[in-house]
Amino acid sequence: MDSKSGARERFARSERDILALSHRIHAHPELGFEEERACAWIEELLADAGFAVTHGVADLPTAFVARAGSGPLHVGICAEYDSLPGIGHACGHNMIAAMAAGAAMAAAAVADDVGLTVTVLGTPAEEVGDASGKILMLERGAFDGLHAAMMLHPAPVELLEAHIIAASMFEVHYTGKPAHAAAFPELGINAADALTIAQTSIGLLRQHLKQTDRVHGIVTHGGDAPNVVPAHTAARYIVRAENLEELRDVRSKVYRCFEAGALATGATLEITGGSKPYADLRPDHGMSAVYQRNAEALGRQFPDLGPLAQRMAASTDMGNVSYALPTIHPMIGIDSAPAVNHQPEFAAHCVTPVADNAVIEGSLAMAWTAIDLAQDPDARRRLMARR
């Protein structure tokens, strides 16, 4: 039996458990840094499969690493398992976690035979947008020793190298002065007006932004009563650009819009967060090609999306990983259209038979990719030379 057949046979024995994990995480959504149940369920499954599991790595209670094999090429597979507020697993992180576990378990069965060490990295809080799990784990050494990293992300359609751009999320706080809104409005300093001016300024700024820039946000606090001049307002915003350098430029322009609100009204401004942005993804094209061959061997198809592929911009802290070591982050299609990521309808699609089939084939495609990288002398030499 060759190594890929051995990996496939090992996965088949655990297929029911892998799919059950996906459905279980989907049914119990947890927000970033609060994923206690999901983290425990994945750790338990991997420990039962013989992985050496370390809980709470990088001083993060819902992060872990699970390792098997002792070969010279060390490949990491990232698991995400946080959900979105209000709409649950509308980005399919239940599938990501299941595919990471499934791929690692399959690859581990032949790891020593092919010269592979495989590690699952449980990376919390991908959806938080700032100082997320992978960024903190990178800074604190959890990725040290890896030669390559990979993960799969569900999407409406298959995409080999997604358009992943840089992003920075931050919170804005205005403090003014309360007053009776009818009797003594002149004695107040309106923090809501400050936020309105900032939002208007951002709207006018859009004419002068690049087509690839994104600015979007929500008001998280707009005041306390309509008859009181608002003394406190707050918002949460995300700024995105093609790469980190362009992100710094557009973010400074957006910050000035918030400063304009404070200047015009006399309110004070505080901006928090945004110091640990998500980087753009730099996929390793050699690894991508290996993954594509394996995915196609399992029946996956990669349609030519043309300009739409560039239009489908998103951000992830896996981009930061790609700055540190060779990385791939393909999208695996679940035939959800017209439902797209971050819609409740997409969340419903992430536990359908089509999604379950994607979990099976995605797990095997990643396992086979790790095996091929370990067995190809040129690929192994190239990846190991990078670290």
3-class DSSP state of 4? helix
Angular region, 45: left φ>0, alpha ψ -120 to 50, beta rest: alpha
Pairing of strands 73-79, 148-150: parallel
Domain boundaries, the chain: 3-164+281-385, 166-273
Q: Which residue bears the tokens 């002792």?
A: 70
pLDDT at res. 387: 60
Cα–Cα separations (whole angstroms), residue 230 to 188, 208, 235, 366: 8, 31, 14, 53
pLDDT at res. 306: 80
Among the listed residues 95, 57, 123, 156, the one whose alpha carbon sits nearest the alpha carbon of residue 366: 95
pLDDT at res. 199: 98
How many Å apart are CA 321 and CA 6, to the nearest integer?
30
The answer, as to whether pTM is greater than 0.85, is yes
How many Å apart are CA 262 and CA 270, to the nearest integer?
10
Pairing of strands 116-122, 73-79: parallel
CATH 3.30.70.360 matches 166-273? yes
Four-residue CA torsion sign, 326, 115, 133, 273: negative
Residues of the chain with pLDDT under 50: none
Give the number of C-alpha atoms closer than 13 A to the C-alpha of residue 214, restricted to the C-beta side: 19
pLDDT at res. 129: 87
Q: What does CATH list as the number for 3-164+281-385?
A: 3.40.630.10
pLDDT at res. 1: 63
